[in-house]
Amino acid sequence: MPPTLDRVKPRHVALAVLVATIWGVNFVVIKVGLRDFPPLLFSALRFLAAAVPAIFFVGPPRVAWRWVLAVALFLGVAKFGLLFIGMDAGMPAGLSSLVLQSQVFFTILFAAVVLRERPRPAQLAGMAVAAAGVVLIAVDYGVGSPISALLLVIAAAAAWGVSNVVTRYAQPPDALSFIVWVSAVAALPLFALSLLVEGPAADLAALRGMDVGNVAAIGFIAWVSTLLGFGLWGFLLREHDAGAVVPFALLVPVAGMLSGWLLLDEPLTPVRLAGAALIVAGMAAATVIRARQPAPVDQPVPVS
């Protein structure tokens, strides 16, 4: 049995915290990039940048192509398309990092229906607590902002839940290779949707106006968040029990909200903080229990 994180060198704990921090800060980088790019185009560029250099160094996905296509559509196109549109419509970076993690209880619900994985009572209680937190944030957020932006991010979390169930069913033996191929497949429909919805003129204007900052934003979300984040997370899951690693994902919304507050001056109201506490507590109950159950080593991870 692999050792737990409390029995190994502190550097592995530091790596887990680093990955969670990267994925949290990633939401701030997305928010900054959306100032200059239409959301669907920005999402497409993210996946293209993640796939093009890496695809020459990883092997084939080693799963049926129908699973690559399904995850590309639900994770790449639906989840990230909806997330980027919601953030472009006004959803704050920190709040997005928090609400998106509601994918935990969407995953549990969909797994119960599709995979017949019966949730435990503690999981159901945790989901109810997290749902109460989302409602609390929705009420506070809707006072001065379009509630549609929040609903788009919740829909993105639901799409992520579907992709998690598909990934769990496919059980790819190499998570990094799998996500690289998913990125390559997802880029094409995202570019097509961008041309159709956002228009060639807007896309060309954004591409012509690219500068060093834009390239850096794309590079961060593609290479640092996706490739480096997945690589380090996969290493930790190979070295340790999933139950010791997965709970560190709860630090993602903490890093996201703090970085949004520090770097973008996003408000942290008492109501939102209370909602955040409920969501993190509810997800902790659901995630820790799920992590203790037998699961493939390369189970879905909270990439952002």
Angle at 149 between CA 144 and CA 154, to 5 degrees: 120
According to the model, what pLDDT value does residue 299 have?
45
Span 84-143, pLDDT tens digits: 999 999 999 988 988 888 887 787 788 777 767 677 777 778 778 877 887 887 777 766
Q: Count CA atoms closer than 13 A to 260's CA, side-chain side.
A: 26
Residues 6+ apart with CB under 8 A from 23: 97, 225, 229, 249, 252, 255, 256, 302, 303, 304
According to the model, what pLDDT value does residue 222 have?
93
* pLDDT of 45 over the 90 cut: yes
Which ranges of the chain does DSSP label H, i.e. alpha helix?
A: 10-33, 39-51, 65-71, 80-88, 93-99, 103-114, 121-141, 147-170, 175-193, 200-208, 212-219, 229-239, 242-245, 251-264, 270-292
Span 219-252, pLDDT tens digits: 999 999 988 987 888 788 777 765 567 677 778 8
Span 258-304, pLDDT tens digits: 899 999 998 888 888 888 888 778 777 766 655 555 444 334 445 56
Distances (CA, A) of 173 to 18, 170, 187, 270: 24, 9, 23, 43
According to the model, what pLDDT value does residue 135 have?
80
Torsion sign over Cα 31, 255, 45, 199: negative
According to the model, what pLDDT value does residue 289 have?
56
- In the chain, what are the domain boundaries? 5-292
